[in-house]
């Protein structure tokens, strides 16, 4: 194991929930404004996961005031405080990019029971 891999393994978070495409999640992100820090929550649907060990990321999409907003969050980043799974979704795809063209009822994802 070289120095870079060792450095990455030390910073991997162990207490993350299992997140899958279609889940509705709350991502608590630490925001620094000047000399103050606050937590901002981004709620949306997971449309993609990239699993590369410590370099894993999750793409979350929400519709805000009629405009689609997507953010890519590095899961093991120190600015991500917490990821909560609000609702499990039932989907048959690994990447949900088709939701970008859908609006309204056709963009809904069924809840997994």
Output the pLDDT for position 104: 87
Q: What percent of the chain has pLDDT over 70?
A: 100
pTM for the full model?
0.88
Q: What percentage of the chain reaches a pLDDT higher than 90?
A: 73
Residue 6's SS3 state is helix
Predicted confidence (pLDDT) per residue in 7-54, tens digit: 888 888 888 899 999 999 999 999 999 999 999 999 999 999 998 888
Element (H, E) at 38: strand 36-50
The CATH code of the domain that includes 50 is 2.30.30.790
Structural domain containing residue 31: 8-88
| Cα separation, 12 vs 99, whole angstroms | 30
Domain-embedded: residue 73? yes
- How many domains are there within the chain? 1
Is the predicted pLDDT of residue 98 greater than 80, yes or no? yes
- Is 107 part of any domain? no
């Amino acid at each position: 194991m070289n120095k870079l891999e060792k450095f990455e393994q030390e910073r991997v978070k162990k207490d993350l929930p299992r997140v899958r495409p279609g889940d509705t999640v709350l991502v608590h992100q630490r925001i620094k404004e000047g000399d103050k820090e606050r937590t901002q929550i981004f709620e949306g649907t997971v449309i993609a996961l990239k699993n590369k060990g410590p370099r894993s990321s999750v793409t979350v999409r929400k519709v805000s005031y009629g405009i689609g907003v997507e953010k890519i969050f590095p899961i093991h980043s120190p600015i991500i405080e917490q990821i909560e799974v609000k609702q499990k979704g039932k989907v048959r795809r690994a990447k949900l990019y088709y939701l970008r063209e859908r609006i309204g009822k056709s963009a809904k994802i069924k809840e997994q029971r």
